[in-house]
Amino acid sequence: MATSLEVRGVSLRFGGVRALTDVSFAIKEGELFSIIGPNGAGKTSIVNCISGRYKPTEGQLFYQGRDITGLTPNARASLGIGRTFQNLALFHHMSVLDNIMVGRHHLLKNNFFTGSLYWLTGARKEELAHRRKVEEIIDFLDLQSVRQAPAGTLSYGLRKRVELARAMALEPRLILLDEPMAGMNFEEKEDMARYIVDLNEEFGMTVVMIEHDMGVVMDISHRVMVLDFGRKIAEGDPAAVLADPHVRRAYLGEEDEVLVDPDDAPPAQESAA
């Protein structure tokens, strides 16, 4: 299976603070890859490096074999890298439909001048084609009932779904999901997990997901990477990673078990006659 994304020796510093230290990993095409770790571990920092929001202090990033380390976020989006944000970044006054349409701006071919000749050029035809794609996304994410509602009037769970829809609108081959289920109730999480699996399996998108819900991570991920204090401490099959004592100590706060020699154990108290 071909490699979709490769991160080589990425370090990130803000002044004297090290957010990431020599992080390396590779993700295969069609994989659902989760990044976990305690708060402040560097999870969002590595996603920001992949999307182009941050430029690594050291190291390189390759997407489908191409060095993208120096590319802008817009250039990476044009290559097929989409993302959602930990904090919602929707246009609250705009409708759900228009918010999703904004996600397709990288795919628009007509510019201001050809667009002004709307009926004489391909602009109208192009807009109709984009609207059809948006309607498909609305159907997929069950947003029909709120398609004309201002995004700011929706519940938190629905707004998270609209942000996923906007990321899908770019038609990315690699999608970065930063805590897609944060703040959701159990039913909303179940729905979002199903959508993410369908994105991966039906749409063929490679998914990189930051998520704190370990149940979700264990259920849907193909592989998991664990960060702690900006360093990678484990990577592999979800069950094996979760069983790693370093991971349990860093992520779950478990201490190493103290083994007691039976000869050193205190004698059992005899019961009263």
Structure-token pair, residue 227? 């960060």
Whose tokens are 């399996």? That residue is 201
Q: Quote the pLDDT of residue 173.
A: 95
Structure-token pair, residue 52? 């182009």
Whether the pLDDT of residue 172 is over 80: the answer is yes
User: How many C-beta atoms lie closer than 10 Å to residue 163's C-beta?
Assistant: 24
d(CA 151, CA 154): 6
Higher pLDDT, 45 or 255: 45
User: How many C-beta atoms lie closer than 10 Å to residue 70's C-beta?
Assistant: 10
Q: Quote the pLDDT of residue 142.
A: 94
Q: Are residues 32 and 221 in contact, defined by beta-carbon separation less than 8 angstroms?
A: yes
Q: Quote the pLDDT of residue 113.
A: 43
Whether the pLDDT of residue 8 is over 50: the answer is yes
Q: Quote the pLDDT of residue 96.
A: 93
d(CA 143, CA 238): 32
Q: What percent of the chain has pLDDT over 70?
A: 82
Structure-token pair, residue 4? 């979709």
Whether the pLDDT of residue 154 is over 70: the answer is yes
Q: What is the pLDDT of residues 215-236, one digit of tens each?
A: 899 999 999 999 999 999 999 9
**What length does the chain have?**
273
The residue type at 175? I
Task: Strand 81-83: give its sheet, edge to edge.
Answer: 81-83, 174-178, 206-210, 32-36, 223-228, 231-236
- Residues 199-210, mean pLDDT to the nearest whole number: 94
Provide the pairing of β-strand 81-83 with 174-178: parallel
Domains of the chain: 1-80+172-256 (3.40.50.300), 96-171 (no CATH)
Closest by CA position to 107, among listed 172, 163, 63, 199: 172
Structure-token pair, residue 189? 């999480």
Q: What is the pLDDT of residues 111-146, one digit of tens each?
A: 444 444 444 555 566 667 778 888 999 999 999 999
Q: Quote the pLDDT of residue 252.
A: 62
Q: Is 129 helix (H, G, I), strand (E, B) or coil?
A: helix
Q: What is the pLDDT of residues 15-63, one digit of tens each?
A: 889 999 999 999 999 999 999 998 889 999 999 999 999 999 999 999 9
- Residues 73-94, mean pLDDT to the nearest whole number: 85
Alpha carbon distances (Å) from 181 to 140, 178, 186, 190, 193: 18, 9, 10, 9, 8
Calculate ∠ Cα 242-244-250, nearest 5°. Answer: 80
